[in-house]
Structures are given as C-alpha cells and as structure tokens.
Amino acid sequence: GQQVMQIPQYQHVQEGEDFTTYCNSSTTLSNIQWYKQRPGGHPVFLIQLVKSGEVKKQKRLTFQFGEAKKNSSLHITATQTTDVGTYFCAGMRDSNYQLIWGAGTKLIIKP
C-alpha cells in the first residue's frame, strides 16, 4: 500500500547545530503536513504544504515540498533546547483524503 518513509529515526545534535528530517512517498501526494510532538505531549500541527516545489519558513524552520510532490523535508537552523521532540510528516492521499503518517524523527540535543 501507499507509504510515507521518514528518515532518520533519530538525530543527535549539539545545540546550535542544524537538523533535517526527510519524508518520501511511493506515490504523489495532494499535500503534506508536519507535526511536532514534545516528550510526554501530543502531536501539534506545524504547517501544510500543497504546491509543487513549495517552500515555507517559520522562524528557524524551513519546510519544502518536492517538485513531484512525493517528498518533503523539514530543516531547523541552529537548534535550541525548545526544538527537542519528534517531528512527523503526514501525506494526504488524493483518493480518499486520508493522511499517511511517517514514523517520525526524534530530535535529541546532546548535553
């Protein structure tokens, strides 16, 4: 079936370093959403990308949607302790508006 693969599963960074997580779909998506889940919390919506090649920024976060609408990335510049958590992508199928969730990337700040 249709899948969204998200890598890496974990990323350890020093505070101040950059962080990137990638999502790839086996088929074209109508849009992709990104969520953040803090430790002990629940997923919180960050952004939705709809257009081919779209790039959106939220302060230090940059979100991209690929030209073929099959892949997406989230890049965080100069990570801070408040960025700690798991970042999920969720792609929407064209056929039935269902979201297909990636497995998440856990951002860990090294002490």
Partner 1 sequence: ETGVTQTPRHLVMGMTNKKSLKCEQHLGHNAMYWYKQSAKKPLELMFVYNFKEQTENNSVPSRFSPECPNSSHLFLHLHTLQPEDSALYLCASSQDEGNEQFFGPGTRLTVL
Angstrom distance (rounded) from CA 74 to CA 100 = 17
Site string for partner 1, 69-108 (x = CB under 8 A): -----------------x-x---x---xxxx-x-xx----
Least distance in angstroms from the C-beta of 97 to partner 1: 4
Parallel/antiparallel/unpaired status of strands 85-92 and 105-110: antiparallel
User: Which position among 8, 38, 45, 51 is part of the footprint of partner 1 (CB under 8 A)?
Assistant: 45
Strands (E), the chain: 4-7, 10-14, 19-25, 31-37, 44-49, 55-58, 61-65, 71-76, 85-92, 99-101, 105-110
Site string for partner 1, 46-65 (x = CB under 8 A): --x-----------------
- Residues lying near partner 1 in the complex (CB under 8 A) are found at 30-31, 33, 35, 41-45, 48, 86, 88, 92, 96-99, 101, 103-104
